[in-house]
Amino acid sequence: SAVISQKPSRDICQRGTSLTIQCQVDSQVTMMFWYRQQPGQSLTLIATANQGSEATYESGFVIDKFPISRPNLTFSTLTVSNMSPEDSSIYLCSVGSRSGNTIYFGEGSWLTVV
Amino acid sequence: AQSVTQPDIHITVSEGASLELRCNYSYGATPYLFWYVQSPGQGLQLLLKYFSGDTLVQGIKGFEAEFKRSQSSFNLRKPSVHWSDAAEYFCAVGAQAAGNKLTFGGGTRVLVKP
């Protein structure tokens, strides 16, 4: 199994600022995934982070707003830039097992933008 | 592209009664299917998963789900609901070919009446 740690767990941010969320995994993984869960909504994939290459963004998400770093096989960051209240969400990091049949999620980073 | 539909947004069930949550998916290849539960203010917890083999899958907390390829469904069931089962339930589809990224349904909120 994989243990995923996310920081911060919660934060209240001012409009117009940026916040970087960290995701640390206790084992090496090829791909890491970032999801967003807006209040009362389901989870939506933001992007896939591969080590050594640029992240792949899903439709509706852009690098300027959600820059991602993946410096090694156990760590990734997601930055939420120039935040507005609409960015108030839970942001979750996820990884898959080598076989692909188990997906692990972090506890999430709960962001409130005021 | 893969997609997941959970037709029921809300379900209210009496404690002790049976529960069935519907999930229909669309995916061109053999899917991996997951059910997650999210209690208020909590992160995601995996209830069960299907990736091959027996189409009836047993999970935690007394839940089970049945994969029906002909109906593109993966419905979740529990014979007798407890008040602690009140939560949001998410069905998700993924595949190793897709690199372990998941597509989530919109979720079903379960309310349990005493």
* Close Cβ partners of A53 (under 8 Å, ≥ 6 residues apart): none
Confidence (pLDDT) at B97: 60
Confidence (pLDDT) at A2: 83
Contact B32 A42 (CB under 8 A): no
Contact B104 A105 (CB under 8 A): no
- Whether the predicted pLDDT of B15 surpasses 90: yes
- Whether the predicted pLDDT of A69 surpasses 80: yes
**Among A72-81, A94-103, B105-114, where is mean pLDDT lowest?**
A94-103
Contact A107 B49 (CB under 8 A): no
C-beta atoms surrounding B92 within 10 Å: 26
pLDDT in tens, A71-96: 999 999 999 999 999 999 999 999 98
Confidence (pLDDT) at B53: 85
Q: Which residues of B touch A97 (CB under 8 A)?
A: 100
- Whether the predicted pLDDT of A31 surpasses 90: no
| Chain B residues with at least one Cβ partner in A under 8 Å | 32, 34, 43-44, 46, 49, 51-52, 90, 92, 94-96, 99-107
- Nearest-CA distance B11 → chain A (Å): 15
- The better pLDDT of the pair B99, A57 is held by A57
Classify strands B108-113 and B87-94 as parallel, antiparallel or unpaired. Answer: antiparallel
Q: Which residues of B touch A108 (CB under 8 A)?
A: 43-44
Q: Tell me the CA end-to-end span of chain B in Å, nearest whole number.
A: 41
Tokens 């597509």 locate to B103
| Burial bucket for residue B35 (CB in 10 Å: 0-12, 13-18, 19+) | buried
Q: Which residues of B touch A56 (CB under 8 A)?
A: none
CA closest to A33 among chain B residues: B101
- Nearest-CA distance B10 → chain A (Å): 12
Tokens 């290849």 locate to B29
pLDDT in tens, B66-82: 999 999 999 999 999 99
Tokens 């014979």 locate to B79
- The better pLDDT of the pair B72, A100 is held by B72
CA closest to B107 among chain A residues: A42
3-state secondary structure of B40: coil
Q: Which residues of B40-79 are buried (b: 16+ CB within 10 A; e: fewer)?
A: eeebbebbbbbbeeeeebebeeebbbbbeeeebbbbbebe
Contact B100 A108 (CB under 8 A): no
